[in-house]
Structure 1
Amino acid sequence: MPVVFRHKGFRFFFYSNEGDPREPPHIHVLRDGVDAKFWLWPEVVVAYNDGFSAKTLRELSEIIKNRRQMIMDTWNEFFGESH
């Protein structure tokens, strides 16, 4: 599972097998055994949440919005896609 970046103890990553057919671009976030998944387009939205508070989800959404292009570049490079 490629780690895209780490921030304040959070690991932002995706799985090397993201479905067949592959799911749309998204990012998983994990810290202390709690995880969430965010869709990247057309807006950054929570796909699922397994324990983060609403405040933390808002903070994570902002981090992802600010790094969305870098996340997409990493996704495209890893999966050999271009959009």
Structure 2
Amino acid sequence: MSPTIFREEPRMPVHVQNQHGKAKFWLSPQIELAKSTGLSQHEITEASSLITEHHNDIHNAWHQHVPR
């Protein structure tokens, strides 16, 4: 799975995808699944765990690309 950061969102999102589908998670105020298509519950849980594990790195990268 690979994260993507977009500018047009008012909240901090991270997008993940693999060959089966995709999902969007909000990073703040807490990590929360916004939507998913085609991913199994196991894949969503795995993505959420990876986002939690790397939250600080993702948060810092997001702010480098979208300074506020």
TM-score by length of 1: 0.73
Aligned to 2:19: 32
Moved over 2 A (4+): none
Deviations 1:25-57 (A, max 9, x none): 010001116110001123211100011111111
Greater radius of gyration (CA) = 1
Flag structure 1 segments of 5+ consecutive residues without an equivalent: 1-9
**1:14 — aligned with what?**
5
Query: What's the CA shift string for 1:4-25, capped at 9, x where partnerless?
Result: xxxxxx111122xx32xx4210
SS of the equivalent of 1:11 reads coil
Q: Distance in 2 between matches of 1:68 and 1:46?
A: 14
Tell me the percent identity.
24
Question: Relative contact order (C-alpha < 8 Å, sep 6+): which is higher?
Answer: 2
Larger fraction in strand: 1
Alignment: residue pair count: 68
| SS, match of residue 54 in structure 2 | helix
Q: Distance in 2 between matches of 1:26 and 1:49?
A: 13
Change (3 A) 1:59 1:33: closer
